[in-house]
Amino acid sequence: MPSRRSKGGLLARVNFPLYTVQMVTDKYILVGGGGGSSKTGVANGFEIFELSHNGTHFVAEEVTRHETGPSVVMNCASHRSDNKTWIVAGQESHCQLYNVKFKLITLENGELIKAPTVHKDDLRHRRNSEKVEESQSQREKIEEIKDNNSNVESKKSQLILEPAGSIQTTFGDGEPLQRVVRVSIQGKCMATGGTDGTVRLWKFPQLDKLYDLGTHGKEIDDIDFSPNGNLLVSIAKDGKAFVWNIESRESRELSWKPPDGVKYMYKRCRFRKLIKDEDEEKNDLFMLTNAVAAKNPSFLQLWDANTGVIIKSALYKEALSALAVSNDGKFVAVGTMFSGSVDIFMAFSLRKALHVPGAHSMFVTGLEFLSMNSVAITTNTETAVVSISVDNRICMHSIPFRHKYIKGVYQHKLWIVMLIILCICGMFYLGI
């Protein structure tokens, strides 16, 4: 399929509303969503894109499309171990597990090249030398295939999704719905939350039930594991936020005193990833907090999850809808509800590093940072985040290295200053 290039932040466009985004590996990103169970003609499922950078802008090429029938994909998570990659996706009241397998295929004029069929009878009557020559010839054809116009054909990675199990994670009357799923960084535990308000833990990837961690008064909005996997934070429509100890199952409520007695609701929560050589017991937690009345401001808050104290906060004049934290723990990204804007902050100070007004025509439904190990990250990019929305658009927002910017823009000014200093020193030395 043709590459989809970025233009003004646009990375790709799909034909269904988007609700969830997740990095599958360092260079593959998954987006999911759909039109729901009604017969609207809009498909449900997800697509996986391969990300790259051509020297001037980011490029996304679709490698896999998986449809999920009448079930819209509202949430997902992934985990990568040394030899396996897993995806879990919420589909109504169930959580579906997929095993991701990678396959290298060869394309000729955009079409898959099929290997020639060799019959066993033919091989039985051939000498070993002929077999070796044929094997070498086949390898050469696979590595570089040319047509009459000397067009060199290319290889392409293909991701194959194999369903590996499904469990019901949310119960109750009406139409139960899984709202969120997260897998611990260690890959040993999975947490789910839904419309019944119960946070449940599962053994991963076996999907065996461990226990119910706790229950909110209303449906769960978001959950997240701490970097060391010992804690879990959950927020819900009952207006409460709890930090749970995974082993003891004890909880502590996070509370704060809003200005002027205004009522607030937590919207999203994400732990800050640990920076190298940082204290492993440190648990910085980012929270999006929206005022119930739209006329009041919203907040991006940085909490100390161990003490329950707000360290810093950034004020917004509109409701917030999406949150992500970079893998290196240095940046945090926020998406807005009404203007469809995306902002990137320095994580430790909440100083705004990038503002993208109107990145989407509707509210931002998901954000995901690229891994700094990604081949899609160029040497002059400090960080990059993907944003999605129900406007069917996938956008990329990046920040160049500040020291490279200074080197490129102000280097000539530095030489001028040095020349002036040398002239003054020379004049002083000569007694002029």
Task: Tell the residue number behind the tokens 């929206």, with chain if given.
Answer: 290
**Strand 73-80 relative to strand 198-203, pairing:** unpaired
Render pLDDT for 332-389 as a digit per residue (tens, 0 to 9): 999 999 999 999 999 999 999 999 999 999 999 999 999 877 655 666 788 999 999 9
pLDDT band of residue 424 (cuts 50, 70, 90) is confident
Helix, coil or strand: residue 167: strand
Please work out, in degrees rounded to the nearest 5, the angle formed at the alpha carbon of residue 58 by the alpha carbons of 55 and 63.
120
What span, in angstroms and rounded, lies between the C-alpha atoms of 212 and 214?
A: 6
280-292 average pLDDT score: 92
* pLDDT score of 410 more than 90: no
Q: Tokens in use for 246?
A: 């995974």
Query: What is the predicted pLDDT for the residue at 400?
Result: 87
Query: What is the predicted pLDDT for the residue at 109?
Result: 57
Render pLDDT for 136-164 as a digit per residue (tens, 0 to 9): 444 444 344 344 444 445 667 788 899 99
Query: Which H helix or E strand runs over 132?
Result: helix 128-143
What span, in angstroms and rounded, lies between the C-alpha atoms of 167 and 339?
A: 37
What amino acid is encoded at 164 in this protein? A
Q: What are phi and psi of 314, to 5 degrees?
A: -125, 135
Nearest CA-CA partner of 24 in 66, 77, 62, 64: 77
48 contacts 64 by C-beta, under 8 angstroms: yes
pLDDT band of residue 108 (cuts 50, 70, 90) is low
CB contact set of 78 (below 8 Å; sequence gap of 6+): 22, 23, 24, 30, 85, 86, 87, 88, 183
Q: Tokens in use for 401?
A: 């290295």
Say whether pTM exceeds 0.95: no
CB contact set of 174 (below 8 Å; sequence gap of 6+): 195
Instruction: Output the CATH code of domain 4-115+151-404.
Output: 2.130.10.10
Q: Tokens in use for 159?
A: 């991701």
**Strand 352-356 relative to strand 111-112, pairing:** unpaired
What amino acid is encoded at 218 in this protein? K
Query: What is the predicted pLDDT for the residue at 403?
Result: 53
Q: Tokens in use for 282?
A: 């440190």
Render pLDDT for 30-89 as a digit per residue (tens, 0 to 9): 999 998 877 778 899 999 999 988 888 889 999 999 999 999 999 999 999 878 999 999
